[in-house]
Structure 1
Amino acid sequence: MPSVQPVEYAVAVERYLAAAELGAASRRIYRIALDTWAWALADRPAPGGPDRRRARPPVLPLALLDHPDAAARLRAAAAHRATTTDPRTFNRELSTLRAALTWWRAQGWLRTDPAADLRPQPLSDAAGTGPLDPDQLRALFALRAPLREQTLWHLLHESGAPVETALALDVDDLDLLHRRSHLSAAAVHWRAGTARLLPLLVAGRTRGPLFLTDRRAPAATPAADRCPHTGHARLSYRRAAELFTALTRPLAAPAAPWTLRRLRSGHPRRTPVAPGTKPGATGHTDES
């Protein structure tokens, strides 16, 4: 029996995320993707950079997705988004939207699927999209980059963990002796490079996020994302990606900037699905 339809799009997003079996880090990534589509439906450009995470999306009625022009709005938004982001990010955001739409329709909240005509972007096998080769990795790890960045890069390369999983780690999750996290499910394992850097990164800290921002956290930051020792916030996926691309620019071809995913290429990816759907049912890739 259909449940009571929420009036606002944002409320529907929160109900979908609450029903989905997602970790806290994944939930943040999915919320950002769904908020991006809210800006599109309002015919307003989504904020970029760090402002994207902090900006409050426009208030929209969920029924707007059933409006006759919703599909056209989404097509225009998708065309614009495809020119401002890489294909894997676009496909992840589109897959997240489709999973949410599927669930909302299953609740009886929507009659139509305004994203039915949207298609994923093709993934090129050209140079610049595959894993970094040994020479590139040597050049990367020889960069005079901050300790935080070098530790994250080594961890991603050695563990194959999704970026969101690595950034969700807390200091007390670490088993430094055995080079792994304490998490019983989806434990993260690392090798000598990471093992050498981690003790330096966590020196003096026993709790709180492993990877921290350079500045103190805003007052509204949840306690779980704030370091009790420094007051700094958990480093975000977007900021980590921006720093990687900026710091590796001297090593990359101008037309093919390096992205964090190239540190873990070839490892399994997760697929966002509607709650109650078996993983793999959608066929859309969630690149982290």
Structure 2
Amino acid sequence: MVHPVEYAVAVERRLEAAGLSEGSRRIYRIALVSWAWPIVGRTTPTGAARRKASPPVVPLNLLDDPACAARLRDACAERAAVTDPRTLNRELSILRGALRWWREQGWITTDPLAGAEPLPSAPVAAPARLSEDEIRAVLALRAPLREQALWHLLHDTGAPIERVLALNIANLDLDRRRGRADRPELRWGPRTGRLLSLLLLSRTAGPVFLTDRRAPAGTPATDRCPLTGRARLSYRRAAEVFTDATRSLDPSGSGWTLRQLRAG
């Protein structure tokens, strides 16, 4: 196998050799590409900026630069402040696996993550629930219909975010504004009902909340809209959108989290 000179090429070689499903390959690629910025001492973009940004061209031999380890440690510290430990540990695990494979191929000789420990997984204190005034400001934001419906539904029901994102159209009784056969039962108000009806106009099956793009090949049928071909919205993407949208409302400028929006 020809020795690649660019990090991006080495990433693709790693993915080809890993024997992953299309969905897993996409997740691994996103994680590995996100480390390109820290390797050259830059901050990884987040939210909408990340989707539009082109990763820097990274010579693969930078991973053998003694300064690379320090840059990655700094990046981990920065990301730990805004990312939950499970997500960051998963992305670090993906990078560790790639580094190990590249060393086995003889493409790099060192491990810039040597000595870096996983973040503790113990739960941290939950952020304070938003005040009623803050919630009113969030729900008054000029946001796309999908976000308005999701935020109103989360606030009205107080249900776990994962449960709401897992809803299919068949799970909803729109006329009675409640979930079907749910335990505990989901109920929502008139405004949320109107938003859901508009969101689901012309759709009769599939996930309630969808991504903006068509689902990648290999996406299970249960996570794909049969009409539009789009995929079920992920927690990660929903959380990114919410935090980006609320930066202007948060006095700290960091943006709030979806968990702060839930009722109760």
Under TM normalisation by the shorter chain, which class is it? 0.5 to 0.7
Quote how far apart the aligned CAs of 1:101 are: 4.2
The residue type equivalent to 1:130 in the other structure is P
The residue type equivalent to 1:71 in the other structure is A
Q: Is the 8 A contact 2:207 2:225 kept in 1?
A: yes
Q: Is the 8 A contact 1:10 1:60 kept in 2?
A: no
1:87 aligned partner? 81
Mapped partners of 2:19, 2:129: distance in 1:
34
1:175 to 157, 171, 175: 171
Q: Is the 8 A contact 1:66 1:112 kept in 2?
A: yes
Q: Is the 8 A contact 1:32 1:53 kept in 2?
A: no
Q: Is the 8 A contact 1:39 1:57 kept in 2?
A: yes
Residues 1:98 and 2:92 aligned together: yes
1:198 aligned partner? 196
Quote how far apart the aligned CAs of 1:6 are: 8.9
1:34 aligned partner? 32
Q: TM-score, normalised by structure 2?
A: 0.58
The residue type equivalent to 2:160 in the other structure is G
1:11 aligned partner? 13
Quote how far apart the aligned CAs of 1:192 are: 0.7
Q: Is the 8 A contact 2:247 2:253 kept in 1?
A: no
Q: Is the 8 A contact 1:64 1:70 kept in 2?
A: yes
2:140 to 137, 143, 154: 143
Q: TM-score, normalised by structure 1?
A: 0.54
Correspondences of 1:144-159 after superposition (within 5 Å): 146=143, 147-156=145-154, 158-159=158-159
Mapped partners of 1:199, 1:247: distance in 2:
23
Q: Which moved more, 1:233-242 or 1:189-198?
A: 233-242
2:50 to 49, 52, 57: 52
Q: Is the 8 A contact 2:207 2:224 kept in 1?
A: yes
* More relative contact order, 1 or 2 (CA 8 Å, 6+ apart): 1
Would the alpha carbon gap of residues 221 and 60 (structure 1) be closer, same or farther in structure 2, given more than 3 Å must change? Answer: farther
The residue type equivalent to 1:192 in the other structure is R
Q: What's the C-alpha RMSD, in Å, of the aligned pairs?
A: 5.2
Would the alpha carbon gap of residues 260 and 161 (structure 1) be closer, same or farther in structure 2, given more than 3 Å must change? Answer: closer
Query: What's the secondary structure of 1:18's corresponding residue?
Result: coil
Query: What's the secondary structure of 1:206's corresponding residue?
Result: coil
The residue type equivalent to 1:176 in the other structure is L
2:7 aligned partner? none
Mapped partners of 1:17, 1:90: distance in 2:
28
Any idea what the Cα deviations from partners look like across 1:134-186, whole Å, max 9, x if unmatched? Answer: 746863675365542232124445331349x82xx5855x42248269xxxxx
Quote how far apart the aligned CAs of 1:41 are: 1.7
Larger Rg: 2
Would the alpha carbon gap of residues 112 and 230 (structure 1) be closer, same or farther in structure 2, given more than 3 Å must change? Answer: same
Mapped partners of 1:43, 1:71: distance in 2:
11
Q: Is the 8 A contact 2:47 2:241 kept in 1?
A: no
Would the alpha carbon gap of residues 180 and 9 (structure 1) be closer, same or farther in structure 2, given more than 3 Å must change? Answer: farther
Quote how far apart the aligned CAs of 1:262 are: 2.6
Query: What's the secondary structure of 1:159's corresponding residue?
Result: coil
Q: Is the 8 A contact 2:80 2:88 kept in 1?
A: no
| Identical amino acids, percent of aligned pairs | 41
Q: How many residues align?
A: 238
